[in-house]
Amino acid sequence: MGKGKKKEGLEMVRDYSIKYYGRIIDSYELLGRYLPDPLVKWIELRKSTFKEPPVGALTTREKELIATTIEITSLKPDSRPHARLAIKAGASVKDVAEVCMICILLGGMATYIASGQNALKAAEEEWENQKKLKAESKKRKK
C-alpha cells in the first residue's frame, strides 16, 4: 500500500470508527501504523457483515446482541461497546439482561461476574442516554 493509499485507508478506518463507535479506536490506530492494508480489509469485511436486511438476514439489533453474547462468553473485560450499540440499534436493557442469562447458562456465573455485568451496566447507561437524547430532540422540535 503506497503512502497515499495508506493515508486514505486509515482515514476510512477513522471515519468508520467515529460513525460506528462514536470515537476513534486507539487499537485500530496502533495496528494501522504497521499493517494498514489488512486493517482496512478487516473494516471492509466488518462493514459488509453489519448491513441491515434485506442485504443482511439479521437486523443490526440482533447482530449487536450476538456480538455482546460473544464478548461476555469470551470473558472480555470490556464488554460494553456492543451492549451500547445494541441499545442504540433498538434493543432494550431487558434484552441485554437476557443475553447475560444465556451466557450464565453457557459459561457459568463467572461469565457474568467477569464480563456480563459490565455489558448490563453499559446497556442501562446507554438506555438512559438515549432517553435524554430523545427528550432533547422533542424539545428542539417544539
Distance (Å, rounded) from C-alpha 115 to C-alpha 113?
6
Residue type at 75 in one-letter notation = L
At the second CATH level, the architecture of 60-141 is Up-down Bundle (1.20)
Q: Is residue 84 within 8 Å of residue 60, measured between CB atoms?
A: no
Residue 17 pLDDT > 80: yes
Q: Taking the model in full, what pTM does it have?
A: 0.84
Domain ranges of the chain: 3-49, 60-141
Instruction: Tell me the pLDDT tens digit for each residue of 80-139.
Output: 999 999 999 999 999 999 999 999 999 999 999 999 999 999 999 999 999 999 999 888
Question: Residue 101 corresponds to which cell in the numbers above?
Answer: 442469562
Give the other-Cβ count within 10 Å of 102's Cβ: 16
What's the pLDDT at 54? 82
Euclidean distance between the first and the last CA atom of the chain, given in angstroms as a whole number: 51
